[in-house]
Amino acid sequence: MPLKPDITPPEAQDMRVGFALVGIGKLTSQELIPAARTSEHAYVAALVSGEADKAQGFARALGLGEGDAYTYEQFDELANRDDVQAVYIVLPNSLHREYATRAARMGKHVLCEKPLGVNAEDAQAIVDACREAGVLLMTAYRCQYTPEHWAARDAVQDGMLGPVRLLHSIHAQVEDDPEAWRLKRDLAGGGPLPDVGIYSLNTLRFITGQEPEWVFATQHQPTGDPRFREVEASMSALLGFPDGVSATIQTSYAAHKTTTLSVMGEKGSLTMDPAFPYDGLKLRISSEDGTHEPAFPEYDQFTLEFDHFARCIRSGRAPWTPGEEGVQDHVIMDALYESARTGQVVRLPGSAKADAFRGTKPDLPEK
Ligand code: NAD
């Protein structure tokens, strides 16, 4: 895949924050490496992979040396690299904890892919390890950094839709390969819910700034389909937010690619469709002023994340989506699985204040 062209003049390399990318799968090779090239505040200083050849090939393509490519066995040698200030973990979910903890012990800041772990306890252990080591931790929730999602949040929170009553989101796609790690409970922690359904959950929480107080869920795990021996094929959930606001979330690994989100207020509504791809997001707002589809500047979601975390590292401020934000989604997902298992409503602590688990607001790309 051709690398995207530079769109911003990079700072002198030594002013930017050096990242080691751990795991060179689809996301790293197709999105993160190109995104880092257009980052103003971050660059890839090292790569870590199970295959030495693969890491070296990508290192060469980035203009790095052979010594910048590491195997998983050599991971702890990053401790000797002062130019590597942050480690970006892009591995199957159950490996996040081990590598995040080892990175934190080396004094490296940690950017970790979603979901943060495989359940709330696992994710909390990552937060604790980073806190103990005094390093920053960011959960890579790219949809909390885009101008489209912020415009949706502003429309809701500025009252453009009147009091919000109903929320709805679907994130579904077909997973074909029965051997994929995403379908193995030990590696993934669950099925579509922690992989794609998490976008619905996380983005509705972000847009409202509120936390659900109870959840009810049902899931379907067909017998006889080798893909769903270990995890659910689909889940439908009802979530109760404060003041009687209710949300429905649906997710599936056996339904055609769909990413939508809607918020219905008393005086207006908004829809994002598609709501969660890497680009081409579309927002439509209907209010007393009519219906409009705002225009947004071009940007790369992963570059925005790199830049935000690099700025936080330089200023010592907590990122907008710290580890706590990742743990909160796991607390809710654990409750959704418990509800699906027991057939009961599961109550949650909720939160007394808005944006309870978030840190420093990100800068949005300018028009
Ligand atoms: P992938 O399967 O393409 O790559 C996973 C990488 O992990 C590969 O390089 C593989 O070799 C390595 N690996 C190490 N140990 C492994 C093991 N035991 N089993 C399987 N692979 C192993 O996955 P991906 O799509 O790059 O996903 C990696 C992480 O990124 C996941 O946490 C996923 O949820 C997240 N992700 C996030 C987004 C996003 O939009 N933010 C998109 C895709 C994936």
| % of the chain exceeding 70 in pLDDT | 96
Q: Cβ(78) to ligand 1 under 6 A?
A: no
Decide if pLDDT at 4 tops 70.
no
The Cα 328–Cα 332 span in angstroms is 6
pLDDT at 15: 84
**CA proximity to 249, closest of 166, 348, 356:** 166
Of the candidate ranges 206-210, 246-250, 267-271, 287-291, the one whose mean pLDDT is the lowest: 287-291
Token pair for residue 71?
A: 């195997």
* Nearest residue (CA) to ligand 1, atom 9: 25
Residue bearing tokens 């994002």: 272
* Nearest residue (CA) to ligand 1, atom 43: 27
| Mean per-residue pLDDT, 231-236 | 98
DSSP 64: -
Q: Cβ(260) to ligand 1 under 6 A?
A: no
Q: Residue 65, Cβ neighbours under 10 Å: how many? A: 10
Decide if pLDDT at 22 tops 80.
yes
Q: Does residue 108 have an active-site annotation? A: no
pLDDT band at 9 (very low <50, low <70, confident <90, very high): low
CA of 187 to the centre of ligand 1 (A): 10
Minimum-distance ligand 1 atom for the alpha carbon of 24: 9
Decide if pLDDT at 131 tops 90.
yes
Contact by Cβ (8 Å): 211, 205: yes
pLDDT at 367: 67
Decide if pLDDT at 2 tops 50.
no
pLDDT at 153: 98
pLDDT band at 7 (very low <50, low <70, confident <90, very high): very low
The Cα 130–Cα 328 span in angstroms is 16
Distances in Å between the Cα of 202 and the Cα atoms of 103, 261, 325 are 25, 11, 9
Pick from 49, 181, 305 the residue to mutate for probing ligand 1's pocket: most ligand atoms within 8 Å of its CB. Answer: 181
pLDDT at 197: 98
**CA proximity to 16, closest of 38, 37, 34, 43:** 43
The Cα 138–Cα 113 span in angstroms is 9
Q: Which of 26, 108, 114, 257 is an active site residue?
A: 114
CA of 346 to the centre of ligand 1 (A): 31
The Cα 356–Cα 160 span in angstroms is 23
* Nearest residue (CA) to ligand 1, atom 14: 91
Q: Cβ(90) to ligand 1 under 6 A?
A: yes
Decide if pLDDT at 152 tops 50.
yes
Q: Cβ(181) to ligand 1 under 6 A?
A: yes
* Nearest residue (CA) to ligand 1, atom 23: 25
| % of the chain exceeding 90 in pLDDT | 95
pLDDT at 285: 98
pLDDT tens-digit map of 241-268: 999 999 999 999 999 999 999 999 999 9
Decide if pLDDT at 34 tops 60.
yes
pLDDT band at 13 (very low <50, low <70, confident <90, very high): low
Q: Cβ(232) to ligand 1 under 6 A?
A: no
* Nearest residue (CA) to ligand 1, atom 17: 92
The Cα 169–Cα 206 span in angstroms is 13
Decide if pLDDT at 48 tops 70.
yes
pLDDT at 12: 62
